[in-house]
């Protein structure tokens, strides 16, 4: 695992949560995901493509998702609703965008985010993709960023469309 | 008189955050737009004192909106609020007349301070 592939996502996640939400994250030890853990209740999924391919999943447990949305809207959602979906999608977008800025040499484009909800779901990656899991702890609960990596390939053109 | 603001971003939740921050700082948010074309139309209609403008939006993007707004009002105060990833486009935006920029993720204090600098002599 090359640390330069993971660090941008780690740094961007910590920065986004601290700056936009006022939430300090404590990083755990990254590991290669092998199985159905971790499980989330809300997951923001976003792709980056160009001279490398990345799939990023920002996974939050229920309380973390509700608290993050509350921090953005100044109102606690009563349940996992459309506001939570928008909030987590935008967080995934900003985290991916921040990481992309640190990976300029890969000429990455960021896709539109998707958000998956449902208690105890786990995002799986294709066999050829190596998913790295970065766990974070916070006063809001567990937050995990999973980065599906495929190695840069020579001569690949970056996709032109941003975001 | 309160300073008036138009907020243009395709993400509803980001518009809401900016509206909350601006309102707390004494601005009156007079309108919102979710794409570049709408931003131009709303600017012409509302003539706000300032605009926050995302660069990446569907249909017509923020740079398109910036050109349209500056063409209509060369004195327009446009604050770019966009992701760090847009550094290349950001240079074009500054050349096109954007007054300043705040990168996402942003914090309340930074956004409010930068907005205040757009109209340093106005009262809230």
With a threshold of 0.90, tell me whether the complex ipTM lies above it.
Answer: no
Compare CB distances from B84 to A74, A89, A101 and report the shortest one's residue.
Answer: A101
Chain A residues whose beta carbon lies within 8 Å of the beta carbon of residue B11? 86, 89-90, 93
Q: Is A100 on the interface with B (CB under 8 A)?
A: yes
Instruction: Answer for the pair A117, A85: CB distance below 8 angstroms, yes or no.
Output: yes
Compare CB distances from B84 to A86, A87, A98 and report the shortest one's residue.
Answer: A98
Give the torsion sign (CA, A140, B10, A13, B106): negative
Tokens of B71: 């063409």
* Cβ separation B104–A20 shorter than 8 A: yes
Q: Is the pLDDT of residue A104 over 90?
A: no
Averaged pLDDT score across all residues of chain A? 86
Q: Measure the CA–CA gap between A134 and A138, rounded to whole angstroms.
A: 13
Helix count and strand count (H, E) for chain B: 5, 5
Chain A residues whose beta carbon lies within 8 Å of the beta carbon of residue B20? 73-74
Chain A residues whose beta carbon lies within 8 Å of the beta carbon of residue B87? 101
CA distance B9 to chain A (A): 12
- In 3D space, the residue among B19, B75, B89 whose CA is nearest the CA of residue B52 turns out to be B19
Chain A residues whose beta carbon lies within 8 Å of the beta carbon of residue B92? none
* Cβ separation A101–B12 shorter than 8 A: no
How would you class A93 by CB atoms within 10 Å of its CB: exposed for 0-12, middle for 13-18, buried for 19 or more? buried
- In 3D space, the residue among B37, B44, B45, B46 whose CA is nearest the CA of residue B10 turns out to be B37
SS3 B87: helix
What band does A162 get if pLDDT is binned at 50, 70 and 90? very low
- In 3D space, the residue among B50, B113, B103, B122 whose CA is nearest the CA of residue A97 turns out to be B103
Chain A residues whose beta carbon lies within 8 Å of the beta carbon of residue B106? 19-20
* Cβ separation B106–A19 shorter than 8 A: yes
Which residues numbered 45-74 in A keep a CB inside 8 Å of some CB on B?
72-74
* Cβ separation A73–B11 shorter than 8 A: no
Q: Measure the CA–CA gap between A56 and A73, rounded to whole angstroms.
A: 24
* Cβ separation A20–B107 shorter than 8 A: yes
Say which residue, A159 or B15, is predicted with more confidence.
B15
- DSSP H or E segment with residue A118: strand A114-121
- For tokens 């987590």, the residue is A88
Compare CB distances from A97 to B14, B84, B106 and report the shortest one's residue.
Answer: B84
Residues (pLDDT < 70) of chain B are 84-87, 122-124
The pTM score is 0.82
SS3 B112: helix
Q: Convert the pLDDT of each residue in B74-104 to its tens digit.
A: 999 999 998 766 667 888 899 999 999 998 8
Searching chain A, which residue's CA lies closest to the CA of residue B104?
Answer: A94
Q: Is the pLDDT of residue A125 over 60?
A: yes
């Amino acid at each position: 695992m090359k640390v330069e592939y993971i660090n941008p996502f780690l740094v961007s996640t910590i920065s986004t949560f601290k700056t936009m939400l006022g939430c300090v994250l404590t990083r755990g030890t990254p590991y290669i995901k092998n199985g159905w853990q971790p499980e989330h209740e809300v997951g923001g999924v976003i792709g980056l493509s160009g001279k490398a391919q990345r799939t990023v999943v920002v996974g939050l447990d229920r309380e973390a998702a509700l608290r993050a949305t509350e921090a953005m809207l100044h109102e606690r959602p009563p349940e996992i609703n459309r506001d939570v979906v928008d909030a987590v999608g935008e967080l995934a977008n900003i985290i991916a965008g921040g990481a992309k800025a640190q990976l300029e040499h890969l000429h990455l484009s960021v896709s539109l985010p998707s958000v998956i909800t449902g208690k105890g779901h786990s995002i799986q990656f294709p066999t050829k993709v190596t998913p790295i899991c970065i766990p974070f702890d916070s006063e809001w609960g567990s937050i995990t960023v999973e980065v599906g990596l495929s190695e840069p390939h020579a001569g690949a053109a970056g996709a032109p469309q941003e975001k | 008189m309160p300073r008036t603001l138009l907020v243009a971003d395709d993400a509803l939740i980001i518009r809401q955050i900016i509206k909350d921050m601006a309102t707390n700082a004494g601005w009156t948010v007079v309108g919102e737009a979710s794409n570049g074309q709408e931003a131009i139309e709303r600017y012409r209609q509302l003539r706000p004192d300032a605009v926050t403008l995302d660069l990446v939006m569907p249909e017509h993007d923020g740079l398109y909106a910036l050109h349209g707004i500056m063409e209509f009002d060369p004195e327009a105060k446009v604050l770019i609020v966009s992701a760090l990833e847009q550094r290349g486009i950001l240079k074009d935006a500054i050349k096109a007349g954007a007054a300043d920029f705040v990168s996402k993720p942003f914090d309340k204090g930074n956004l409010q301070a930068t907005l205040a600098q757009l109209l340093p002599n106005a009262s809230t």
